[in-house]
Amino acid sequence: MNTVAKLGVYVGGLAVAFGAAFGIGAAADPVTSSGRPTHGGPARAGDSGTDGRGMPGADLGQSTTAVALPGLAVSQDGYSLMPDTNTLPAGEHVRFRFTVTGPDGAPVQKYTTTHTRDLHLIVVRRDLTGFQHVHPVRDAAGIWTASLQLASGGTYRAFADFTPAARKTGLTLGADISVAGMFTPVPLPAAATTTTTTGGYDVALAGTPAAGHESTLTFTVSRAGSQITDLEPYLGAFGHLVSLRAGDLAYLHTHPAQEAAAGQRGGPTVRFTTEFPTAGTYRLFLDFRAGGAVHTAPFTVVAPAPGAVATTGGAADGPADGPAGGHGH
C-alpha cells in the first residue's frame, strides 16, 4: 500500500474513533438544544450549576424547564434590571443605584403595589450570607437608590421583586454585584435543627418540604421560653419569607396564609405555602416584626424527591441580626 493510501486509511480510522466517542459521550451526558433556559435573556456566569464561587453546585436534579425560575436572569419579557454599576466597595451604607427598564427601553414609572411596596430588593452573597431585604427609593427619572450593608467582599446577588402596572403578574430579576475586599466563603449551615435565635427571639420551623408540590411551613416565635402573641404587621402580613435554592440562587415566591393590617397583633405562628421545584437544598429567610424591629430567622431545608424524608435546619452560625440579617426599613 502506498503512502497516500496508508494516510487515507489512518484518517478514516480517526474519524470513526472520534465519531464513536462523541456518540458515547452524548448518550452519557446529553445536551438538549434548549440548553439551560433563562427568563428571556442569555445565561449569566454563576447563574446555574455553580455555588457562586465557580465551583459545582449541588445536584438538584434540574430539568431544562425547572431552571426557568425567578431571579435567574437579568431580563424577562422585555423587562431588565440595570444596575448603575456591577462593582461596589465593602462597607456600611453603600449606595446602590439601578433602573428597571420596560419593553420600550425606558425606565418603568408605574408599578402595582405588592406587599405594601412598589419594589422589594433582596441582596445576598452567593454563599447565602449577608442577607438583606430593603426598599429603595425611586426618583422622578425612574432610578432606584438603596443603602446596603456590605460587610465583606465577594459576589452578591441582587433581586428586584416587583409588578409593573402594565402586567398582571410579578417579576423577579437578578443581577450579580462584585464587592471589593477579602472573600472567605462560609459553608452553608446543615439542615440539622429546626430552631434558630434572632434578636432574643426563638423561632421554630415545622413542615415537610418536598419537591414538586406545595408545602406548608409554619414558624412559631417565642421569647424567654414563652410563645408571643404580639407580632406586628410587616409588609401587610405577620411575616415575609424569601426562599433561595442553593447552587443557583433561584428565588421562590412564598405566600403568607394571613394578612395583617395596621394595629393588629399576631402570633405565635406564621404560616406560608411554597413549592420547591426540584429536590435539593434551600435557604429560607423569615422576616418578622416584633418589639418595634424587624428580625430575620434563617433556616436550611432539604426538599427531597416525592416519597423521601425531608430535612430542615436552623442557623448554625449564630444570630441572624446584624450584617447577615440586615434591613432597610
pLDDT digits (tens, 9 = 90+) for 153-196: 999 999 999 999 999 999 999 999 999 999 999 999 999 779 99
Instruction: Given CATH 3.30.1490.20, say whether it is the number of domain 195-324.
Output: no
- Rounded Cα–Cα distance for residues 296 and 319 (Å): 9
Low-confidence winner among 89-93, 201-205, 230-234, 314-318 (lowest mean pLDDT): 314-318
Q: Mind listing the pLDDT tens digit for each residue in 284-307?
A: 999 999 999 999 999 999 999 876
Least confident of 64-68, 118-122, 231-235, 259-263: 64-68
Number of residues written out for the chain: 329
Distance CA 141, CA 82 (A): 14
Q: Would strands 75-76 and 79-83 be described as parallel, antiparallel, or unpaired? A: antiparallel
The runs of H, that is alpha helices, within the chain are 3-28
Q: What is the DSSP letter of 200?
A: T
Residues 6+ apart with CB under 8 A from 263: 233
- For residues 62 and 128, the model is more confident at 128
**Three-state DSSP state, 73:** coil
State yes or no: pLDDT of 18 exceeds 50: no
| Higher local confidence (pLDDT), 97 or 212 | 97
| pLDDT greater than 80 at residue 147 | yes
Rounded Cα distance between 247 and 277, Å, is 14
pLDDT band of 314, cuts 50, 70, 90: low
Q: Does residue 48 have a pLDDT over 60?
A: no
Which residues of the chain does CATH 2.60.40.1930 include? 75-179
Q: What is the rounded CA–CA span in Å between residue 161 and residue 124?
A: 14
The mean pLDDT of 114-119, rounded to a whole number, is: 95
Quick one: average pLDDT of 80-103? 97
Q: How far is CA 327 from CA 13, 193, 214, 257, 274, in A?
A: 65, 25, 28, 23, 23
Beta-strand relationship, 119-125 and 75-76: unpaired
Domain limits, CATH 2.60.40.10, in the chain? 195-324
Q: Using alpha carbons only, how large is the chain's radius of gyration in Å? A: 23
* Residue-level pLDDT at 19: 39
Task: Identify the band that residue 198 occupies on the pLDDT scale cut at 50, 70 and 90.
Answer: very high
Q: What is the pLDDT of residue 143?
A: 98
pLDDT greater than 90 at residue 257: no
- pLDDT tops 90 at residue 117: yes
User: Is the pLDDT confidence value at 263 over 60?
Assistant: yes
Q: Which CATH number fits domain 75-179: 2.60.40.1930, 2.40.30.10, 1.20.120.450, 2.60.40.1170?
A: 2.60.40.1930
Question: What's the average model confidence in pLDDT over 280-285?
Answer: 96
